[in-house]
Amino acid sequence: MSTTYEARLDYRLPGGPFDLCGCHFCANEWLRAMDAIDPDGWRSRINSYAMILCRQCGCKRCPKASYHGHDCTASNESGQHGSVYGDFEIDESWRDDDGDDE
Ligand SMILES: [Zn+2]
Ligand SMILES: [Zn+2]
């Protein structure tokens, strides 16, 4: 069984895509898209990634907070399957293309 991961972004807006979801995966895809459009605007976007919570249970370590297609466990335990605090990896390689920021 394989899952296709797809961000829920609305690309129809003139100012660039809009994150309709708010999970880690969608926020990462949104930031990646915005970074391509407006590489210098990251300061205004930095907070959008700071506190991502499951919309259902409000737990940041819930697998559903990491990806909207994952089941909500209503648990804030670390190391949960499907959570970025567990085994779910998000491709953030676009962030450090030159590796020498700061
Ligand atoms: Zn999402
Ligand atoms: Zn949840």
What would the pLDDT profile of 3-53 be if each residue is shown by its tens digit?
789 999 999 988 889 999 999 999 999 999 999 998 898 888 877 666 899
Residue 60 maps to a domain: yes
- The tally of domains found in the chain comes to 1
Residues by chain with Cβ below 5 Å of ion ligand 1: 21, 23, 26, 68
Provide the residue range defining the domain that includes 38.
21-89
Provide the pLDDT for residue 53: 95
29 C-alpha to ligand 1 centroid (Å): 9
Provide the pLDDT for residue 49: 64
Ligand with minimal distance to 55 CA:
2
Ligand with minimal distance to 23 CA:
1
40 C-alpha to ligand 2 centroid (Å): 33
DSSP code per residue over the chain: --------EETTSTTS-EESS-SHHHHHHHHHHHHHH-TT-HHHHGGGGT----TTT--TTSHHHH-TTSPP-----TT-TTSTTTT-----GGGGSSS---
Residue 1 maps to a domain: no
